[in-house]
Amino acid sequence: MTSKTAMRILTAIVALIFLISWIMKSGSGMSDSAFTNVRDGFLVTFAVFLTLSIFSFLYRDNPFYKFAESLYVGISAGYWMCYGFWSTVVGNFVPRASRSLSEFFHVPYQEHADHILIYIPIIFGLILLTRLLPKIGWLSRWSLAFIIGATAGLNLTRYLRSDFISQVSNSFIPLFVDWKGVGDFVNHISLAADGQFIAILSNWVIFVGVMCGLVYFFFSKEHKGAFGVASRVGIWILMVTFGASFGYTVMGRISLLVGRITFLFGDWLNIL
Amino acid sequence: MKRQIPLVLVFIFGMLLAIQYFVPSEPSQRGYEFVLDWITIIGIFAMVLGIWSQVHVGWSKIKHRSENWQYSIVALVSMFAMIAFGLSPFGGLQGTIFRLIYNNVFIPIQATIFSLLAFYIASASYRAFRARSAVSTVLLVAALLLMLRVLPMGPLADPISSIGSWMLLVPNLAAKRAIAIGVGLGGVATALKIVLGIERSYLGKD
Amino acid sequence: MKYIILLFLTCLSLCLSQAILAQTASSDPPAEAALVPSEPPAPPGNLTLKDLPNDDGHGIAVKWDLSPDDGAGAKSVISYDIYRSLSPDAPDSLWKKAGTVVLGVKSYADKGNRESDNDDYLPKKTNLYYRVYAVGAGVRSVAAAAGPVQAYDNWFNTLKVPELIFCVVFLILTVRFINMAKRGIDLYVRPLAGIEAIDEAIGRATEMGKPILYCLGIGTAGDIATIASFTILGRVARKVAEYQTSMIVPCIDPIVMTIAQETVKAGYADAGRPDAYKEDSVYYVTSQQFPYVAAVNGTIIREKPATNIYLGYFLAESLLLAETGVMAGSIQIAGTDQVSQLPFFVVACDYTLLGEELYAASAYLGREPLLLGTLKAQDYLKAIALVCIFALLALRVFTGADVIHKPFDMPWW
């Protein structure tokens, strides 16, 4: 049997199952209106079809997945454009630009807005569209330059507090917690989570981890000798972190499947 | 002109926004909000370029009957249908058909794609368990300890849980801090390179 | 093995979903404690007002001494109410409630709104008057009153002095090292396995006659990781053009697509092959995370690229992309600054650039003096941070002094 024939048979089977499911879901609908039951039956069956089409990707690429993917991408692109229009154009631009447009779209006109300044991004936006015309397409670089420059300027300073200064200042942790001398420490040594030993060990691990992690990220010195040892310790600490994060998210990721299984076996097949 | 003006624009707006961070006055805050708004509004025009790109690529596939050209029809038709329903003055984003399509087509597919992570993380774990070096063994052991935390391990449950919690709090914090410091510095350096015009590949060539 | 995992997960999910459906939980809200009227507490004392520093001119800092009944006795204070008005003799209805703080707190930053049509408008350069009441159970004290005070714009945020010092030091170091690099002094950069693999990976793609997929992530043009990825994209595009291979660059944002097109076109032009550039190779997919991933996954499985390069801002889709690449048999090089996604890239990809390595990669690829200079400046600042941490920790260990938090956490009052 050729793959085309097999595909045709599979498509026919899927269509048959779709039809049977649609009829059965419509029949078991709770609404008084026959149209609503038929519509809801179709929607549930179609959602199941799309769900199973996506799952079929785990086996191999196939026309069902391709159809679901194309539909998904198209709907998403359309949705995002509509959302952008209503939230940005109508929600943000129109109330500041034009009273008559505000009335048309039923949004409150902002009396005190700076109406002239709002046309500057319009000009930049129109310049961006020159990209569609090959001869003057280079003009679009001006708009790109504005966006890149503005965002680079924002990023130049805004990372400093959260990603550098706060992190460095929070690294100044006490290395000897509640220290009352070696004798006292040895007498009270225990593996209790809130004990002195664990607190001191934890702070030393953090201190060594941060130092060696920073050494690992040194690019201008060869990682040899003592520097290499520190770098090695740094990468080991990083790997422990990555392993811990990986293990921690496993169950969370698996639980994402629960919703889909509940939909398939509950809402569709009424087993659960 | 083709590159000089954009470089000047990058420098001016980059420096203005960088200086704005230190100036809390009202004109400065308003300027900052304006720039953010402007970027959002320009993004709408950029969407036109996005639609154009999609239509151009899709139409090209259909015209030349490239492989899987039929699915380009599905993508384009669904996109324009969604736009038609969404931009309709009768309901817009809250319109019946628009919401029906969103809730019964988009959401189920989205949830299913997200749930594929369950399978992928299982297959990634299976591959990760074949540790080939000391460093990957360390990763494997750490991952195993965290995974075993949620399983009934009898008398070992408490020690494993404690070690796992400690790993999430202590070495995890150290590594994330080291990465964050590096990322902060790298981010500032990259932004500086852009503002000063040291990096200019995004401007293209004459 | 794949099917065993599938079966296991299905059974596990069925069990979990049964458990979730069987769970019911209910709890009754606790009964509210009845308020017992009591005598009014004593008012707060010594009410002082001043312009809120480091703000946009619409804020006043209000400070008072705690009421003697704060946290004590039958007239115990529960909270303090702060009111604001334009006139000291205004009727009660014209006193606007600025805020409430709990007992024990003796200051409040009244950050009003700057729009004149807003209910909480706090005008600049206008006389303002304040009243603070100590509030007990159902009663409040007489007001502590003060004024006038005026709010002013501030032109420099003194709390951001550390950032300013950092920027100045960074700039000085950058200029110094750029000058050194321009003078021909060799600035060493340690090898990055992921970047060294790019050449080999492009060569592999050429031999196999397969394209290279370059994914910029789901960030916008405003994300610094995406900007860093553009700088690498240009260099990769140049190598791709030199090797005469093809490239696929799916983009999630139209502006990212536009910049990526310029970057790739420039890369081809640098390699002397501008005619080989195909506009359709860099295209827009959609602006949402999972539809984008679905499309890229489909591209990976169908086009079977020899090399997948994922450099930029990624979230949950990182594992989806990387595992699909494994299924397609591609060599994968990834890099992101998102710490939460690095584990998945490390596990699933052949080479991973961790955090800052993504930002260093462009310097490594280009080897230009300007780029190497900034990389050196980054390293020097890291060294300064290391020395600071080490020295101040040693100071704390040997002297017990905790000096560092004061400069970084200056109070606003």
Where in chain B are the domains? 1-85
Are C144 and C208 in the same domain?
A: no
pLDDT tens, A213-255? 999 999 888 888 988 999 999 999 999 999 998 888 888 888 8
Identify whether the C-beta of residue B188 lies closer than 8 Å to the C-beta of residue C359: no
Structure-block tokens of residue B26:
């009202």
Does residue C295 fall inside a structural domain?
yes
Are C255 and C363 in the same domain?
A: yes
pLDDT of C132 strictly over 90: yes
CA distance, residue C315 to nearest chain A CA (Å): 13
Does residue C117 fall inside a structural domain?
yes
Nearest CA in chain A to B99: A79
Nearest CA in chain A to C348: A246
Residues of chain B with C-beta less than 8 angstroms from the C-beta of C257: 49-50, 53
Across C48-65, average pLDDT:
93
Which chains does chain B touch, 3 or more C-beta pairs < 8 A? Answer: A, C
A155 interfacial to chain B (CB closer than 8 Å): yes
pLDDT of B163 strictly over 70: yes
Domain ranges of chain A: 3-60, 172-268
Compute and round to an integer the Cα radius of gyration of chain C. 31
CB contact under 8 A, C284 and B53: yes
Residue range of the domain that includes C236: 193-367
Alpha helix stretches (DSSP H) within C130-223: 161-182, 193-208
Rounded-to-integer distance, Cα C226 and Cα B21, Å = 22
Measured between CB atoms, which of C21, C343, C376 is closest to A246? C343
* Helices A63-84 and B26-63, axial angle in degrees (round to 10): 150
CA-closest candidate to residue A54, choices C331, C325, B57, C324 = C324
Are C219 and C140 in the same domain?
A: no
* Model pLDDT, residue C6: 56
Q: Which amino acid is at A271?
A: I
Does residue C142 fall inside a structural domain?
yes
Residues of chain C with C-beta less than 8 angstroms from the C-beta of B29: 56, 114
Structure-block tokens of residue B52:
């154009």
- Banded model confidence at residue B144, pLDDT cuts 50, 70, 90: confident
* Model pLDDT, residue B131: 63
Identify whether the C-beta of residue A88 lies closer than 8 Å to the C-beta of residue B44: yes
* Model pLDDT, residue C406: 47
Per-residue DSSP letter, C160: G
Residue of B53, B119, B132, B141 to mutate, interface with C, max C Cβ within 10 Å: B53
Residue of C6, C382, C388 to mutate, interface with A, max A Cβ within 10 Å: C382
Does residue C12 fall inside a structural domain?
no
CB contact under 8 A, C356 and B185: yes
Strand partners, C140: C135
pLDDT tens, C225-239? 999 999 899 989 999
Rounded-to-integer distance, Cα A209 and Cα B2, Å = 48
Structure-block tokens of residue B74:
């599905």
Identify whether the C-beta of residue A253 lies closer than 8 Å to the C-beta of residue B121: yes
Rounded-to-integer distance, Cα B42 and Cα A119, Å = 11
Q: Which residue has the tokens 């350096």?
A: B189
CATH number of C286's domain: 3.40.50
* Model pLDDT, residue B139: 86
CA distance, residue B86 to nearest chain C CA (Å): 16
pLDDT tens, B101-118? 999 999 999 999 999 998
Residue ranges in chain A whose pLDDT is less than 70: 1, 112-115
B93 interfacial to chain A (CB closer than 8 Å): yes
CA-closest candidate to residue A164, choices C162, B20, B17, C314 = C162
Residues of chain A with C-beta less than 8 angstroms from the C-beta of C190: 218-223
* Model pLDDT, residue B90: 61
Are C341 and C210 in the same domain?
A: yes
User: Count of alpha carbons within 13 Å of B171, Cβ hemisphere only?
Assistant: 22
Residue B47 class from Cβ within 10 Å (0-12 exposed, 13-18 middle, 19+ buried)?
A: buried
Q: Between A169 and C203, where is the model more confident?
A: C203
- Residues, chain C: 413
pLDDT of B151 strictly over 70: yes
Contacts of C29 (CB under 8 A, 6+ apart): none
CB contact under 8 A, B179 and C174: no
Task: Strands of C218-290 (E only): list them.
Answer: 247-251, 282-284
Q: How many angstroms separate the Cα of A149 from the Cα of each of A122, B116, B186?
A: 18, 38, 17
* Model pLDDT, residue C34: 46
Strands C107-111 and C128-135: unpaired
Rounded-to-integer distance, Cα B198 and Cα C315, Å = 29
Measured between CB atoms, which of C9, C16, C389 is closest to A210? C389
H/E stretch holding C217 reads strand C212-217
Rounded-to-integer distance, Cα A148 and Cα B140, Å = 41
Angle at C357 between CA A201 and CA C229, to 5 degrees: 140
Three-class secondary structure of residue A271 per DSSP: coil
Are C344 and C201 in the same domain?
A: yes
* Model pLDDT, residue A174: 78
pLDDT tens, C143-201? 889 989 999 999 999 988 988 988 899 989 988 888 888 888 877 888 888 888 888 89
* Model pLDDT, residue A115: 66
Structure-block tokens of residue B197:
């015009």
* Model pLDDT, residue B127: 79
Q: What phi, psi does C222 have (nearest 5°)? A: -85, -10
- Mean pLDDT across chain C, nearest whole number? 85
Check whether the bond before C148 is cis (ω within 30° of 0): yes
Measured between CB atoms, which of B110, B114, B201 is closest to C263? B201
CB contact under 8 A, C16 and A172: no
pLDDT of C373 strictly over 70: yes
Identify whether the C-beta of residue A128 lies closer than 8 Å to the C-beta of residue B46: yes
Strand partners, C131: C83, C145
Residues of chain B with C-beta less than 8 angstroms from the C-beta of C280: 56-57, 60
> Domain total for chain C?
2
Rounded-to-integer distance, Cα C111 and Cα B4, Å = 43
Q: Which residue has the tokens 């420490």?
A: A185
* Model pLDDT, residue C16: 53
* Model pLDDT, residue A112: 64
Rounded-to-integer distance, Cα C168 and Cα C163, Å = 9
Nearest CA in chain A to B159: A191
CB contact under 8 A, B124 and C347: yes
Q: What phi, psi does B91 have (nearest 5°)? A: 110, -35
Q: Which residue has the tokens 């003057």?
A: A136
Residues of chain B with C-beta less than 8 angstroms from the C-beta of A80: 47
Residues of chain C with C-beta less than 8 angstroms from the C-beta of A133: none
Q: How many angstroms separate the Cα of C292 from the Cα of each of A6, B152, C187?
A: 30, 39, 40
Contacts of B15 (CB under 8 A, 6+ apart): A153, B195
Across C9-18, average pLDDT:
55
Residue C236 class from Cβ within 10 Å (0-12 exposed, 13-18 middle, 19+ buried)?
A: buried
Residue of A116, A155, A265 to mutate, interface with B, max B Cβ within 10 Å: A155
- Mean pLDDT across chain B, nearest whole number? 88
pLDDT tens, C322-342? 999 999 999 999 999 998 999
Alpha helix stretches (DSSP H) within chain B: 4-20, 26-63, 69-87, 96-101, 107-128, 134-148, 157-169, 171-195
pLDDT of C365 strictly over 60: yes
Are C98 and C214 in the same domain?
A: no
Residue of B106, B130, B138, B183 to mutate, interface with C, max C Cβ within 10 Å: B183
- Banded model confidence at residue C28, pLDDT cuts 50, 70, 90: very low
Strands C79-85 and C128-135: antiparallel
Rounded-to-integer distance, Cα A23 and Cα C62, Å = 70
CATH number of C126's domain: 2.60.40.10
CA distance, residue C141 to nearest chain B CA (Å): 36
* Helices A3-27 and A34-55, axial angle in degrees (round to 10): 140
* Model pLDDT, residue C152: 92
pLDDT tens, C347-363? 899 999 998 999 888 88
Identify whether the C-beta of residue C324 lies closer than 8 Å to the C-beta of residue C300: yes
Q: Which residue has the tokens 């340690």?
A: C190
* Model pLDDT, residue C11: 54
* Model pLDDT, residue A65: 94
CB contact under 8 A, C396 and A172: yes
Residue C151 class from Cβ within 10 Å (0-12 exposed, 13-18 middle, 19+ buried)?
A: buried
Contacts of A51 (CB under 8 A, 6+ apart): A260, A263, A264, B108, B109, B111, B112
- Banded model confidence at residue C401, pLDDT cuts 50, 70, 90: low
Across B168-195, average pLDDT:
90
Angle at A62 between CA A58 and CA A66, to 5 degrees: 100
Identify whether the C-beta of residue C210 lies closer than 8 Å to the C-beta of residue C305: yes
Three-class secondary structure of residue C311 per DSSP: strand
* Model pLDDT, residue C4: 52
* Model pLDDT, residue A270: 84
Q: What is the dihedral of CA C384, C385, C388, C393, to 10 degrees?
A: -150
Across C311-322, average pLDDT:
94
Three-class secondary structure of residue C148 per DSSP: strand
Q: Which amino acid is at C159?
A: L
pLDDT tens, C80-123? 999 999 999 999 899 999 999 998 999 999 998 888 888 889 99
Q: Which amino acid is at B111?
A: A
- Banded model confidence at residue B132, pLDDT cuts 50, 70, 90: confident
Residue of B22, B41, B110, B195 to mutate, interface with A, max A Cβ within 10 Å: B41
pLDDT of C409 strictly over 60: no
H/E stretch holding C108 reads strand C107-111
H/E stretch holding A258 reads helix A225-262
